[in-house]
């Protein structure tokens, strides 16, 4: 699918994802700053991905890890700093959660920030259980 807004194009065509741009965007975040390129590549290959382009240059990214039947974990939502402030993050999330392939799924996400952004779309805060060492999934409670 493809959406347009002014000079921006959003697509779910994984073949159009600019891997260098996606890696740069993700590695600039608190949750994926240490994620190796190989892991980012594999995660893109196994997810429903969204690339946001401004006049042909990728400036945003998001992905949904899903089985297309029961759940979709929306993650790695990022807009390049120079393109923030014009509602592109809201538009990206809106398109992701409205994607036809995700309509029968319970949609989940975890975030340390931007709660009000996601609450506008009907997400509610909840507890999370986890197993493993990946800090970007769910922060562990502090032991102090």
Instruction: Show Cβ contacts of residue 48 under 8 Å, excluding neighbours closer than 6 positions.
Output: 12, 63, 64, 65, 66, 72, 99, 101, 102
Instruction: Show Cβ contacts of residue 57 under 8 Å, excluding neighbours closer than 6 positions.
Output: 18, 21
Partners of 74 in the beta sheet?
A: 64
Check if CATH label 3.40.50.720 holds for domain 2-119: no
Residue 54 phi, psi (nearest 5)? -115, 110
Of 78, 49, 89, the closest CA to residue 66 belongs to 49
pLDDT tens digits, the chain, 144 residues: what are they?
999 999 999 999 999 999 999 999 999 998 888 999 999 999 999 999 999 999 999 999 999 999 999 999 889 999 999 999 999 999 998 999 999 999 998 887 776 666 677 677 666 777 666 666 655 555 444 444
Of 12, 15, 27, the closest CA to residue 68 belongs to 12
Q: Any idea where the domains of the chain sit in the sequence?
A: 2-119
Given the structure tokens 């996601």, which residue do they identify? 118
């Amino acid at each position: 699918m493809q959406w347009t807004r002014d000079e921006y194009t959003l697509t779910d065509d994984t073949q159009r994802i600019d891997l260098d741009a996606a890696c740069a965007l993700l590695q600039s975040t608190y949750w994926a700053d240490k994620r190796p390129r190989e892991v980012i590549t594999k995660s893109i290959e196994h997810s429903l991905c969204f690339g946001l382009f401004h006049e042909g240059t990728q400036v945003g990214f998001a992905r949904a890890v899903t089985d297309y039947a029961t759940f979709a974990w929306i993650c790695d939502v990022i807009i390049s700093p120079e393109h923030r402030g014009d509602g592109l993050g809201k538009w990206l999330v809106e398109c992701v959660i409205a994607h036809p392939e995700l309509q029968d799924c319970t949609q989940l996400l975890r975030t340390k920030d931007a709660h009000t952004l996601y609450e506008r779309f009907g997400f509610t805060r909840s507890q999370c259980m986890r197993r493993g060492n990946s800090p970007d999934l769910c922060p562990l409670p502090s032991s102090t």
